[in-house]
């Protein structure tokens, strides 16, 4: 490839892409580490189900319940920060959201360690299952949120805004694509199919699935060419 023919703005875009990739990788590593740590705590709680190293009435088991319950209560800080005017200067919403996610996972985990997976009275069963339902629904809700917004913290994504971003990116990478016509053609065909407007829920689901599969197929090919 003749790198001299590539203008500076393309190189800047490439550097931005590398930095963004490293940030995503660091975020992924952090998420995996936090998930493994949470699973380890749950495994310890499950082992205590039979070993009874700690009990819920005293010692470590008691404090697991206190801290876990407190974390669940502190989940209210995030919606309060978003809606109460006097909290508007209390750090950023992104910070409180991250804290909300951590507390929303660690709270139920510590409560499960507190109970050692033992379910006692009917009231305890209702409280436990309600807590787990809230935690799971929060995780699923955040997943779907990222599907229709720019990442985990961004504004709502619309088709027009995504299309505008696509045109801007093509303008910046135009000289690079001229040197790699195969990658340009693959992306052109992909964009053509994305622009289709299926009617009905079944057709929309089929179109969404085909786009996901197609993007997974052409992404490594385009990156290899570029």
3-state DSSP helix/strand/coil percent for the chain, to nearest 5? 80, 0, 15
DSSP letter assigned to residue 75: T
Share of the chain above pLDDT 70, in %: 70
pLDDT of residue 157: 53
pLDDT of residue 10: 47
pLDDT of residue 151: 54
List Cβ neighbours of 214 (8 Å cut-off, separation of 6 or more): 190, 193
CA dihedral of residues 94, 96, 97, 99 (deg, nearest 10) = 120
pLDDT of residue 12: 53
What are the angstrom distances between the C-alpha of 112 and each of 36, 75, 83?
A: 16, 17, 31
pLDDT tens for 45-66 read: 888 777 777 777 888 888 888 8
| In the chain, domain spans | 8-148, 159-225
- Measured over the CA atoms of residue 48, residue 53, residue 55 and residue 59, the dihedral's sign is negative
- Among 36-50, 56-70, 74-88, 116-130, the least confident range: 116-130
> What predicted TM-score, i.e. pTM, was given to this entire model?
0.55
Q: What is the mean predicted confidence (pLDDT) over 101-121?
A: 81
Q: What is the spatial distance between Cα 81 and Cα 91, in angstroms, rounded to a whole number?
A: 9
pLDDT of residue 128: 72
Phi/psi region, residue 108 (left: phi>0; alpha: psi -120 to 50; beta: rest), is: alpha
């Amino acid at each position: 490839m003749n790198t001299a023919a590539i203008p500076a703005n393309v190189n800047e875009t490439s550097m931005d892409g590398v930095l963004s990739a490293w940030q995503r990788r660091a975020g992924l590593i952090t998420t995996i580490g936090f998930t493994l740590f949470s699973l380890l705590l749950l495994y310890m709680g499950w082992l205590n189900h039979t070993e009874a190293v700690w009990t819920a009435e005293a010692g470590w088991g008691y404090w697991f319940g206190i801290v876990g319950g407190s974390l669940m209560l502190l989940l209210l800080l995030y919606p309060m920060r978003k809606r109460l005017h006097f909290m508007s200067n209390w750090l950023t919403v992104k910070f409180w959201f991250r804290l909300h996610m951590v507390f929303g996972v660690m709270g139920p985990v510590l409560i499960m360690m507190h109970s050692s997976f033992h379910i006692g009275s009917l009231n305890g069963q209702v409280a436990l299952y309600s807590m787990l339902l809230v935690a799971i629904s929060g995780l699923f809700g955040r997943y779907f949120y990222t599907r229709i917004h720019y990442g985990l913290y961004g504004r709502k994504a619309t088709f027009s805004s995504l299309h505008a971003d696509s045109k801007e990116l093509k303008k910046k990478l135009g000289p690079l694509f001229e040197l790699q016509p195969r990658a340009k053609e693959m992306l052109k065909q992909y964009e053509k199919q994305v622009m289709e407007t299926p009617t009905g829920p079944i057709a929309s689901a089929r179109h969404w699935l085909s786009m996901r599969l197609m993007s997974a197929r052409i992404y490594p090919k385009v990156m290899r060419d570029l």
